[in-house]
Amino acid sequence: MPTYTFSVNGKTVTIDAPADLSLLWVLRDKLGVTGPKYGCGIDVCKACTSHLDGEAINPCVVPVSQVQGREVTTIEGLADGGTLHPVQEAWLEQDVPQCGYCQPGQIMAAVALLRKNKNPTDAEIDAIQNVCRCGTYFRIREAIKRAAAKM
Amino acid sequence: MGSPTDSTAEHEDGAVNRRRFLTFLVAAPTLTLATNLAADAIAPGTAEAVVSILPQPAEIMDLGDVLILAGTPTAHLLVLELTEDGEAHFELPRAEVGQGITTAVAMLVAEELDLPLSKVRVRLADARSELLMNQLTGSSNTIRSVYGPVRQTAAAARARLIAAAGKQWGLSTDRLVTRDGVVVAPDGRTATYGSLTSLAAKLTLPGLTATPKPESEHTLVGTPTSRIDARAMVTGTMRYTLDLDVAGAKPTMVRRPPTINGTVRSVNNEAAVRAMPGVIDLAVVPAGVAVMAATFGQALDAKNALDVTWNGGTVDALSDADIRLRLRAAAPPFIVPPLLTQHVDAEFDFAFVSHAPLETNSAIADVRDDRAEIWAGLKSPIVAKQTIAAAIGLPEDRVTVHVTQSGGSFGRRLFFDGALEAAQISKAMARPVKLMWSRIDDMRHGRARPATHHKVRATYALGRVLTYEHRVAAVETDFRHGLGEILTATAAHLPVAGNLSFAQTVFLTTVKVPYDFGVVTELLNEVPLKMHTASWRSVYSANTRGAEEILVDELAKRLGKDPVAFRREFLKTGRQRAVLDKVATAGNWGRAMPAGFAQGVGFHDEYKSCTACLVEIDARDPKKPRVVKAVIAADVGRPINPRGLEAQLLGGLTDAIATTLRAGLHIDRGLPLEGSYSQFHYARQKDSPPDVRIFILPANGEPGGAGELGVPAAVGAIANAYARATGTRPRSFPINFDVDFTPFSR
């Protein structure tokens, strides 16, 4: 079985895995990084949204072979120790989560959006496709705007 | 709460007919009584007698009251612990699935104990068989059922802490007060709860009485408060079932049949699949073929690689068109012929809807020869425990069932099929298993809100609505999650009589028309199809009341009245009118809108709460409508956490947007076509209004329910706005329901 070395939330990891095993299951089942969630496995619900070299990706459809030598950041790696990322702060201030299951992905999607666009319009926020089955979208929108104002 | 007879006696003014109507309504909707109504009520000459407030069963005693009644003997079996480090640990015999009940309950405990909220921990209780019927999470009933008992429990704890401090200091307890987790003496000395807790546990205190604080003294309860678990959620440390690290439990998935309830005839390539990378074990179980592997990715590959020959399922021949025909045939007939009065008739159809919680059905099970341990998100854990024990052949007391916080429910987790399946697999493989359903399986073989067909008829004359009839035909909703036992146990107290099914009892104790529409009869008839159904947020009300709110707009139009003014005129109480007035004012009802845009309004009263919803829709493209603004007001009697209530109403709004406009399941030859969120069109950010205003009205009584409250009013408001914007009369929901995808293979 091939070996892959990459970084997860700032730590270098080396794992044995089949080349086509998706990053989601490498993270969850081999590394115990459970922040990214399974919701569909086919890149439509976006619950697993994480970052690869700072860009939003959906680990459920990224084979582990593609992350060799690269930097993976999950929700667990977003805060700076005990200091939350401004987007996480905004999420708390707007009391966004209900069941919370999609929120790691929502937050990672929002962080990626705000990196590219410091002040997104409503139409740009509309483009986020992450499903929230509890229907917290309005609070997500408000939290993104609040985070944009902070940042 | 009066008996049916008492309640109606209040309204009685001597009309003989009315007593007969009363018997009709209270004694349940049977054909015998229908004859009564037809004989006595329809002649226009007696219109004045007909137009009266006759209580529907749900007005006398609703399902929440039934659950409270069933739970009363055990309501005080609540576990509250004060730890030596000064924390209060409370075991909540309910399931947190996103409703925010752990936060609301923590607020009640903190308030009553005079303890900072940050010092209160709320843990979900394991299945506790001794709680009998008091561990069911449903019917928007958690706060209604625990508000009194939790406060009394915490008040007793506080009284004991004070007694311990009094004993320690040799002071009379009436000179001691509590504040921020300490007992304070008149001279300023303080003792922390943590320092008092062991003494408080030992004291014999005959005659100790404790009364919860008067609500006028509440400082935390009633104020907007953020979720106590939000930080764990936004940092990714919240542990859902599949995130738990249970020793030896390996990823497991099940290959399921091509039609609902199909069974395995033969597995044709077992050896080849066992030889696949990472595969650990394989077993045939009632649901299909289970595969365990080192990772879920490998389990999924192995499941997909299985070559299985299947026996047929239970509804293989059925597709949507057949089901719709059966429903239409099953709707009970109207009583009032449309001959003597002016009338409006309408028929509505609602598709099946997946619960589709984002966390798919999942469970961990570790079944040994002499014991078993289960972890899952369970809203009826006691029945789950009993059923699992029987299925794996262990005594109930050898099975431990842990209730984990879960990623959404919307009614889905009333059922424990995942936990049962995990236990069966664990037994078959003799290993601990971590079971996850794929999304496709969750949508196709999971549960759904049953499809319904509605016939509604209202008669009117001289500006009054004389009679109002609603006939509902529904594919049978499965209530075999413990509710049946509750209804049986409380049968003698129910405001309905006769040999009603559980479903009819639920229907009659939840659905009621909030308007003074004269003689009202609402009947349910179910079509038993062997499919996987379950209550879906607001159960019968989303469709039944949603359809009614559409008809109300059409009635208003017939009578030449504005929809808000018409509702105002026919609503029964000031409380109801207040929420309607609030949205009409805050939402600027009646403002001019460009072509293709329109406002719509809806109202709903249930769970001792009421709400109104006003939306604005952009339907310039009728195939791609978007709700662009929503204004919601709710009176829940007594808000515990207004911020949490707003969240629940927001969720109800989003559910209504999805199910009214686009989200449903097509049944095709025994299986839903939809298999993921790319096909089942639950709302996304682009479908959600960028302008939402929610108003929680001030406290005026006991807490009502709110978790499901938001859906029906919003369904009505959205459909009414769409109708006005497009000049159409929506009758089939979701409105835009094309098969706009290529289904996954079976």
Give domain status of residue B332, yes or no. Answer: no
Q: What is the pLDDT of residue B211?
A: 86
Residues B56, B60, B64, B66, CA torsion sign = negative
User: CB-CB: which of B240, B277, B651 is closest to A135?
Assistant: B651
A108 close contact with B: CB closer than 8 A = no
Q: What's the token pair of residue B444?
A: 């196709």
Q: How many CB atoms lie within 10 A of CB B117?
A: 16
Q: How many CB atoms lie within 10 A of CB B740?
A: 10
The verdict on B32 and B95 lying in the same domain is no
pLDDT (mean) for B51-79: 72
Give domain status of residue B345, yes or no. Answer: no
Q: What is the pLDDT of residue B61?
A: 81
For tokens 């049946």, the residue is B484
pLDDT (mean) for B260-272: 98
Res B36 pLDDT > 50: no
Crossing angle for the helix pair B541-558 and B642-661, to the nearest 10 degrees: 80
Q: What's the token pair of residue B697?
A: 């009205």
| Confidence category of residue B104, pLDDT binned at 50, 70, 90 | very high
| Confidence category of residue B5, pLDDT binned at 50, 70, 90 | very low
The verdict on B497 and B559 lying in the same domain is yes
The verdict on B468 and B378 lying in the same domain is no
DSSP B390-448: HHHT--GGGEEEEEPP-S--TTGGG--HHHHHHHHHHHHHTS-EEEE--HHHHHHTS-E
The verdict on B115 and B217 lying in the same domain is yes
In a mutational test of the A interface, the residue from B137, B234, B244, B364 whose CB has the highest number of chain A CBs within 10 Å is B234
DSSP A62-88: SBGGGGTT-EEE-GGGTSBTTB--HHH
Q: Which residue of B lies nearest to A37 if distances are taken between CA atoms?
A: B359
DSSP, res B743: P
Asked if residue A28 lies in contact with residue B362, where contact means CB atoms within 8 angstroms, the answer is no
In a mutational test of the A interface, the residue from B244, B304, B358 whose CB has the highest number of chain A CBs within 10 Å is B358
Q: How many CB atoms lie within 10 A of CB A53?
A: 11
State how far the Cα of B635 lies from the Cα of B637, in Å rounded to an integer: 6
Of B94, B619, B640, B660, whose CA–CA distance to B404 is shortest? B94
Give domain status of residue B76, yes or no. Answer: yes
The verdict on B577 and B718 lying in the same domain is yes
Give domain status of residue B555, yes or no. Answer: yes
Of B350 and B16, more confident: B350
Residue type, B583: V
Least confident of A111-115, B50-54, B150-154: B50-54
Shortest distance, CA B661 to any CA of chain A (angstroms):
15
Torsions phi, psi of B544, nearest 5? -65, -50
State how far the Cα of B399 lies from the Cα of B422, in Å rounded to an integer: 13
Is A39 close to B408, i.e. CB distance below 8 A? no
Give domain status of residue B330, yes or no. Answer: no
Could you report the per-residue pLDDT of A53-87, keeping only the tens digit for each?
Answer: 999 999 999 999 999 999 999 999 999 999 999 99
Res B51 pLDDT > 50: no
Domain final residue pick, B379, B408, B436: B436
**How many Cβ pairs closer than 8 A exist between chain A and B?**
194
**Chain B residues within an 8 Å CB radius of A29:** 251, 294-297
State how far the Cα of B705 lies from the Cα of B610, in Å rounded to an integer: 9
pLDDT (mean) for B527-541: 95
Could you give the C-alpha distances from A8 to A26, A71, A76, A83, B372, in angstroms and in order?
11, 6, 9, 19, 36
B507 close contact with A: CB closer than 8 A = no
A130 close contact with B: CB closer than 8 A = yes
Taking the domain A3-77, which CATH number applies?
3.10.20.30
Q: What is the pLDDT of residue A117?
A: 97
Largest CA distance in chain A: 48
The verdict on B293 and B161 lying in the same domain is no
Is A101 close to B685, i.e. CB distance below 8 A? no
The verdict on B654 and B601 lying in the same domain is yes
Torsions phi, psi of B488, nearest 5? -65, -45
Could you report the per-residue pLDDT of A12-50, keeping only the tens digit for each?
Answer: 999 999 999 999 999 999 999 999 999 999 999 999 999
The verdict on B107 and B13 lying in the same domain is no
Could you report the per-residue pLDDT of B108-150, keeping only the tens digit for each?
Answer: 999 999 999 999 999 999 998 877 878 899 989 999 988 988 8
Give domain status of residue B329, yes or no. Answer: no
Q: What is the pLDDT of residue B149?
A: 84
Residue type, B107: M
| Confidence category of residue B340, pLDDT binned at 50, 70, 90 | low
**Any idea what the CATH number is for the domain that residue B558 is in?**
3.30.365.10
Shortest distance, CA B692 to any CA of chain A (angstroms):
7
- Residues within 8 A of B (CB atoms), A 49-88 only: 74-76, 78-79, 84, 88
Give domain status of residue B549, yes or no. Answer: yes
pLDDT (mean) for B653-665: 98
H or E element in which residue B630 lies: strand B626-635
- Residues within 8 A of B (CB atoms), A 7-26 only: 18, 21-22, 24-26
What are the E-state strand segments in B73-232? 79-82, 88-92, 120-124, 177-179, 182-184, 190-192
* Within this chain, domains A3-77 and A86-150 share the same CATH topology: no
Could you report the per-residue pLDDT of B693-731, keeping only the tens digit for each?
Answer: 999 999 999 999 999 999 999 999 999 999 999 999 999
- Residues within 8 A of A (CB atoms), B 640-659 only: 643, 647, 650-655, 657-658
Could you report the per-residue pLDDT of B391-450, keeping only the tens digit for each?
Answer: 999 999 999 999 999 999 999 999 999 999 999 999 999 999 999 999 999 999 999 999
Q: What is the pLDDT of residue B76?
A: 61
**Chain B residues within an 8 Å CB radius of A75:** 234-236
pLDDT (mean) for B335-350: 86
| Confidence category of residue B242, pLDDT binned at 50, 70, 90 | very high
User: CB-CB: which of B236, B406, B409 is closest to A104?
Assistant: B236
Q: What is the pLDDT of residue B156?
A: 83
Q: What is the pLDDT of residue B337?
A: 77
Task: Enumerate the β-bridge partners of residue B296.
Answer: none
Could you report the per-residue pLDDT of A78-133, keeping only the tens digit for each?
Answer: 999 999 999 999 999 999 999 999 999 999 999 999 999 999 999 999 999 999 99
Write the secondary structure of B457-524 as one string of H (helix), E (strand) and C (coil).
EEEEECCEEEEEEEEEEEECCCCCCCHHHHHHHCHHHCCCCCCCCHHHHHHHHHCCCCECCCEEEEEE
User: CB-CB: which of A76, A95, A98 is closest to B98?
Assistant: A98
Is A97 close to B234, i.e. CB distance below 8 A? yes
The verdict on B46 and B108 lying in the same domain is no
Half-sphere exposure of B91 (CA within 13 A, CB side): 16
Of B462 and B592, more confident: B592
User: CB-CB: which of A38, A44, A125 is closest to B685?
Assistant: A125
Crossing angle for the helix pair A86-93 and A103-116, to the nearest 10 degrees: 130
| Confidence category of residue B497, pLDDT binned at 50, 70, 90 | low
Q: What's the token pair of residue B475?
A: 């594919």
Is B296 close to A18, i.e. CB distance below 8 A? no
The verdict on B474 and B380 lying in the same domain is no
**Chain B residues within an 8 Å CB radius of A26:** 295
Res B238 pLDDT > 60: yes
Res B4 pLDDT > 50: no
**Chain A residues within an 8 Å CB radius of B657:** 135
State how far the Cα of B576 lies from the Cα of B514, in Å rounded to an integer: 8
The verdict on B77 and B115 lying in the same domain is yes
A45 close contact with B: CB closer than 8 A = yes
Could you report the per-residue pLDDT of B192-225, keeping only the tens digit for each?
Answer: 999 999 888 888 877 777 889 999 999 999 999 9
Give domain status of residue B170, yes or no. Answer: yes
Residue B476 sits in which domain range? 448-733
Least confident of B86-95, B393-402, B481-490, B619-628: B481-490
Shortest distance, CA B435 to any CA of chain A (angstroms):
13
**Chain B residues within an 8 Å CB radius of A88:** 234-235
What fold characterizes domain A86-150? DNA polymerase; domain 1 (1.10.150)
How would you class B531 by CB atoms within 10 Å of its CB: exposed for 0-12, middle for 13-18, buried for 19 or more?
buried
Asked if residue B90 lies in contact with residue B78, where contact means CB atoms within 8 angstroms, the answer is yes
Domain total for chain B?
A: 4
B234 close contact with A: CB closer than 8 A = yes
| Confidence category of residue B453, pLDDT binned at 50, 70, 90 | very high
DSSP B652-691: HHHHHHHHHHT--B-EETTEES--STTTS----GGGS-SE
- Residues within 8 A of A (CB atoms), B 435-474 only: 436, 438-439
Res B227 pLDDT > 70: yes
The verdict on B711 and B644 lying in the same domain is yes
Q: What is the pLDDT of residue B352?
A: 98
Segments making up each domain of chain A, as ranges? 3-77, 86-150
Q: Which residue of B lies nearest to A124 if distances are taken between CA atoms?
A: B686
